Structures are given as C-alpha cells and as structure tokens.
Amino acid sequence: MEMRLQVRQTVATKLLDARLKSYPELAYYLSDFAKHLYLGTVTWSCLASMLENINNWDSKNAIFFSSQTASVCYHFRQDSNELLKQVVVTEIISKKSRLELLNVIGDFEKALRTDLGIYGVSFSNEEDDFSGKSSLYW
C-alpha cells in the first residue's frame, strides 16, 4: 500500500512538473488572444494565427491535460474553427461571437489553473463545472 502511494506521488509530481513547463506558453496564447477579442482588434489572420499556435501546442502537450481540460480545449478549438469559417466571408467578428469566445477562453484558462492546483488540489473524482459563464474578462 505504501509503495502504491509513493508511485502515485511520483507520477503526480512529474505530471505537475510537465504542466508547469508547458502550460505557460498556452496561457500566453490564450491571454494574448483574449486581449485582442476584448478590444475588438481581431481579424481573420489573427484568429487563424492563434489557432495555428494552439493547434501546434496541443499536438505536443495535450497529453498532460486532465480529462476536464481536454474537454474544454476540444470545445474551444471547435468554436474557434467555426468562427474562423464564418469570418472568412465577412472578415469581421461580431461582438456576440467575440464575447462567446471570451467565455470559452475564460473556461480554458480556469481549467489550466485547476490542473496546476492553483484553485486547490482535489484527490477525489469530483469534476469541476466549466460550463458556466466565465467571469475572467467581465
């Protein structure tokens, strides 16, 4: 029993170390993009570039996500890709679309912080609710 606990602690420590090394880059991409969305300075090329950066990061590092963060990331990428398709036609991102994507980014950032233990560490099977409206940008 004690050996099993030591193995769990070792794995948890290594996972946290990997997250601490990789998550700041993703947090930078999300935060930078959120600022553009908030200010209304987003263009199609900005959105496409942001998605490319996040997709590249995801290909290398998503293995470190918790299941909740993986789900939030999936929804973020789906929503962003849909928005990218819409913007191709108009080159304008509506205020409503910007606010919706800001909410998703807020959820994503919350999930990353939770993975890092910033909001506390839970050793149960409780799942955080990331579906509510985020207040990170309001």
Q: Residue 11, Cβ neighbours under 10 Å: how many?
A: 10
**What's the CA gap between 56 and 60, in Å, rounded?**
7
Task: With beta carbons less than 8 A apart as the criterion, state whether 15 and 64 touch.
Answer: yes
CATH 1.20.120 for the 2-115 domain, yes or no: yes
Per residue in 84-121, pLDDT (tens digit) is 888 776 667 788 888 999 999 999 999 999 999 887 65
User: Exposure string (b/e) for 66-100, b if CB count within 10 Å is 16 or more?
Assistant: bebbbbbbeebbebbeebeeebeeeeebeeebbee
Domain ranges of the chain: 2-115
Per-residue pLDDT reduced to its tens digit, 38-52: 888 888 888 899 999
pLDDT in tens, 57-71: 999 999 999 999 999
Tokens of 129: 């609710």
